[in-house]
């Protein structure tokens, strides 16, 4: 299991290999801002990976295409990922920054 910490809210949850960051958060009852419901075609779930990027699957061609189309080529040089596409590969600690993540019932 990977331990995911989401800043600035300091939310923590566990994720298993194969789950996306956003999917794991939602499975634990958290709201993650999105407008495409996790289809990877918007950038609303865009998150900065502060640490643990080596524990995530590499960026797919479709994720890269969406990021470039929506945010420009320069975004690829940053530690940014679509949380709906960033899948966990293995155990460890992952820290991401995404304002707006909160308990789903609040």
Give the number of other CB atoms < 10 A from CB of residue 4. Answer: 24
* pLDDT tens per residue across span 12-26: 999 999 999 999 999
Query: Is residue 67, in this structure, part of any structural domain at all?
Result: yes
| CA–CA separation, 67 and 91 (whole Å) | 26
Nearest to 96 by CA among 38, 45, 27: 45
Give how many domains the chain has, as a whole number. 1
Domain-located, residue 106: no
Q: Which domain does 49 fall in, by range?
A: 2-98
Task: State the Rg of the chain over Cα.
Answer: 13
CA dist., res. 28 & res. 30, Å (int): 6
**What is the SS3 assignment for 13?**
strand
Whether the predicted model's global pTM rises above the 0.85 cut: yes
Question: For the segment 31-54, what is each residue's pLDDT rounded down to a tens digit?
Answer: 999 999 999 999 999 999 999 999
Bridge partners, residue 17, by sequence = none
Position 104 in a domain:
no
- Identify the CATH number of the domain in which residue 31 sits: 3.10.20.30
């Amino acid at each position: 299991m990977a331990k995911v910490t989401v800043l600035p809210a300091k939310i923590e949850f566990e994720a298993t290999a194969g789950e996306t960051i956003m999917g794991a958060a939602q499975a634990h009852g958290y709201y993650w801002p999105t407008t495409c419901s996790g289809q990877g075609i918007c950038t609303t779930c865009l998150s900065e990976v502060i640490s643990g990027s080596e524990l995530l699957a590499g960026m797919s061609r479709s994720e890269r295409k969406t990021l470039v189309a929506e945010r420009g080529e320069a975004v690829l040089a940053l530690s940014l990922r679509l949380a709906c596409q960033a899948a966990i590969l293995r155990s460890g600690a992952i820290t991401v920054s995404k304002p707006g993540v909160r308990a789903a019932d609040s």
